[in-house]
Amino acid sequence: MNSFWKKLPSPFFVLAPMYEVTDTAYRQMFVTYGKPDVFITEFVNVDGLAHPISRSKMIRYYLLFDESERPIVMQIWGNNPENFYKAGQLAKELKFDGVDINMGCPDKKVMSCGGGAALIGQKSLVSELVDAVRRGSGDLPVSIKTRKGILKDDTETWMMMLREVRPDAITLHARTAKEMSKVPADREAFGLAARILAGSNIPLIGNGDVKSRQEGEEIAKRYGLDGVMMGRGVFGNYWFFSGRDASLISPAEKLRAAVQHAKLFERNFAGIKRFHMMYKHLASAATGFAGAKELRLLLMQAKDAAETERIVEDFLASHT
């Protein structure tokens, strides 16, 4: 197997998959302003992908990507081996660079279906799912994104299980499913996982509360991580992976980048996603400067990218 995971710099950086956030338009903004080493899609349910009616809609909605985003990994969730096999086939068909299995989502609906964090500790099923994706996808690397436990810290036992399953990479979110994101990440879990995986040749990626690229580098060095994944910390900062000081980015630059994002969104999702899905991104750009509150109120009424651009340019013209 020719795994791209083994060819990345040390440490490498990954943009975390975030549902209804990290679509191709969002990822392309990072290509422009500061590209991570790996992109991962929003997670998609394997049962939906296996259904002939929902399959094409889900591909168009969640699995679009541009060649500039490579390496790009398709993230899936569920617990049905047959449908994991089919998802592997689809990943190969769509020419993804790898497949990531979500074993960390703490959402109650996902877990009640036996997916996400509900898979933690289920070594036999997890092994079956990884094998199914490998058989379906041919030679694509199969990685796992997970947490340190469901109700309590099971890092040691769980990492020992995953070492035997031998995925091509493991991302560890340093909280339990019960904790969600309500408590600080337990970074000591990174160090424990790194010691357990030592010598396995399985790259370990740490995830949780990383607020800058520099901090990510420090965490990787301190705990022996091969890579670091960033999620909420990048929100509103397309320059995050470039290492640029966010305090030096002017409001005008942030706002015009958000307009660019809106145009990319329309180009990729016209007729598929409603424009109001851009509002959270526009709001994150319109913060921290005089007049920001009033600007946000206007942007939350924008119907399309053209109106967004007009609102932004009118604001900048009256505030410079």
Question: Which residues are part of the catalytic machinery?
Answer: 105
3-state secondary structure 266-300: HHHHCCCCCHHHHHHHHHHHCCCCCCHHHHHHHHC
- Rounded to the nearest angstrom, the gap between the alpha carbon of residue 274 and the centroid of all alpha carbons in its chain is 21
What is the Cα–Cα distance from 10 to 144, expressed in whole angstroms?
19
Spatial contact of 174 and 180, defined as CB atoms under 8 Å apart: no
10 Å Cβ neighbour count for 18?
A: 16
Q: Tell me how far CA of residue 194 lies from CA of 113, 190, 226, in angstroms.
A: 30, 6, 9
Single out the residue of 172, 155, 156 nearest to residue 219, CA to CA.
Answer: 172
Contact 150, 178 (CB under 8 A): yes
For residue 274, count CB atoms less than 10 angstroms from its CB and return exposed for 0-12, middle for 13-18, buried for 19 or more.
exposed
Contact 250, 219 (CB under 8 A): no
DSSP H or E stretch at residue 189: helix 188-197
Question: Tokens in use for 130?
Answer: 């990884």
Q: How far apart are CA 100 and CA 236, in angstroms?
A: 25
81 token code pair: 């081996």
Tokens 């009256």: give the residue. Answer: 318
Alpha-carbon distance of 273 to 40, in angstroms, equals 20
